[in-house]
Amino acid sequence: MSDQHTTDFGYQRVPVEEKAKRVRAVFDSVAERYDLMNDLMSFGIHRLWKRHTIELAGVRRGQRVLDLAAGTGDLAARFAGLVGPEGLVVMTDINARMLNEGRDRLLDRGRVGNVAYCLVNAEQIPFADDQFDCITIGFGLRNVTHKQKALEEMFRVLKPGGRALVLEFSHPRSKPLSKLYDLYSFNVLPTLGRLVVNDPDSYRYLAESIRVHPDQETLRAMMEAAGFERCDYFNLTGGIVAIHRGYKL
């Protein structure tokens, strides 16, 4: 099978049409304990990463925000409070179980009226051009089959003057940290997955998918190729995570 017909699923090569189905199965498996696993895996630091993303987004009252791969809605909930009743947050995910978990959480927190929910594949965003002031995708881009296509779609639906932020696992900046991170990722994460959700394979995929995701400079170049300008990135926790930001000018 030629390489153009296959894509990465962790360290495996799988048919292009199969990846979305496999990713969906991963998140079906972990949806109900997704937040617990995030806290355990990151020692709660994921909350600080998301807070920093919110600050860099600069969202204001009355604005329209698209949150792709929203999961259980951590970013969407914060944005809903910032845009106020005259604004709108569209919370999306490709996985129905994850989206339902997120919707239930936001409803429990009283986030009604200015949040809409939609099943969305980031490669085919079902909205017209120039619709949103801000677009975010948190820990979701590495699961997308055609990442460049997703970035181009984000650029298309962003308003002129708007900004997009990609919060994603990235590549540690130092060799000692990288070795320690590898040891943790390939030994501790699958063990946690087995103990908490009885699914070590999904967390082995997580570790592998991070390693094959573009590094910081490559992703910045991809955003520029999609049309974004003034692209920059911010390394967090030594580069284990990075926030990329670009503008549609």
- Burial code (b: 16+ CB inside 10 Å, e: under 16) for 39-69 equals ebbeeeebeebbebbbebbebeeebbbbbbb
φ and ψ at residue 94, rounded to 5 degrees: -80, -15
User: Binding site annotation covers 8?
Assistant: no
Reduced DSSP (H G I as helix, E B as strand, rest coil) percent helix, strand, coil of the chain, to 5 = 50, 25, 25
CB 243 within 8 A of CB 53: yes
Residue 78, H or E segment:
helix 74-83
Residue with tokens 């409803």: 107
User: Binding site annotation covers 28?
Assistant: no
CB 67 within 8 A of CB 136: yes
Coil, strand or helix at 75: helix
**Per-residue DSSP letters for 158-220?**
EEEEEEEEEEEE---SSHHHHHHHHHIIIIIHHHHHHHHHS-HHHHHHHHHHHHHS--HHHHH
User: Binding site annotation covers 122?
Assistant: yes
User: Binding site annotation covers 93?
Assistant: yes
The C-alpha atoms of residue 219 and residue 209 are separated, in whole angstroms, by 15
Coil, strand or helix at 7: strand
Annotated binding-site positions: 72, 93, 121-122
Annotated binding-site positions for S-adenosyl-L-methionine: 72, 93, 121-122
